[in-house]
Amino acid sequence: MSKQLLLETGVALSLLFNPFSQLAEEPTVGTRKQVDNVAHRGASGYAPENTIAAFDLAVDMKADYIEIDVQRSEDGELVLIHDTTVDRTTDGTGHVGDLSFEELRSLDAGSWFGEEFNGEPIPTFEEILDRYHGKIGVLIELKAPEIYPGIEEQVAEALIERNLDKPQNEKIIIQSFNFESMKKMNELLPRVPIGVLTSNRADTTLKALLEFSTYADWVNPSYGIVTEELVGQVHALGMNVGSWTVRSQEAADFLFEMGVDAIITDYPDYVDPRN
């Protein structure tokens, strides 16, 4: 019998007879402090997403991590922006990958959210690492890596240069909806935790979870597909669950009840009782 088949058989039996063995009990203030509070694109409920303003606020609000979206300019600079176009969150237009770094840097990424954020620039990946490592964890999402060939190597190089590829250093997690990209990141940075993002129930079957467990440390589903069974299965396979995106207290409370390990939220105060 192959090693993989033995693994699948053993896990299946353990889940069959004790599927919820690792689920959290009814949450208390104490257990809530143990759930990682991840500020989604920074404290983006209160400041423009993926800007220094939002990340600084997340630090002030005592979040455990900031979540950032990494893409690449036409001339090869790694920058932080969620959409593959700049239209929604800046005063510019066009695809991120078609604009030079100088063009991207000249855009106003703050005033769309509020006048007080007028002139907030699009940050670079490296300046975020330099500004925040040691202050707060960084959950790095590779956004549409399939349109930026070689971005995995660039991200890995930036982390290695700062000794952030080793677990004894500050908290770093890398995630994406692109599973092949995450397999590659696991090969490049075997000591950095890897996460897979999904909103598809097809990615929560035991077969899918077993595949993820060969290279990932986190399974990060949208909160609409989170169940006690899913959390129990992920935990039984030795992985963690981080769910997104929380924009209400009710959603945060639901995820606490499900026993997740991290809550990714626009509003860090919904997760941390200190706020």
Catalytic position from the list 40, 95, 133, 235: 40
Catalytic position from the list 82, 95, 133, 235: 82
Helices of type H across 189-248: 206-212, 228-236
Instruction: Give CA separation, 219 vs 115, 116, 185, in Å.
Output: 37, 37, 15
Task: With beta carbons less than 8 A apart as the criterion, state whether 223 and 21 touch.
Answer: no
One-letter amino acid at 198 equals T
95 is catalytic: no
235 is catalytic: no
Rounded Cα gap, residues 244 and 267, in angstroms: 11
Rounded Cα gap, residues 55 and 61, in angstroms: 10
173 sits in which H/E element: strand 172-176
Residue 196 token pair? 């897979």
Q: State the catalytic residues.
A: 40, 82
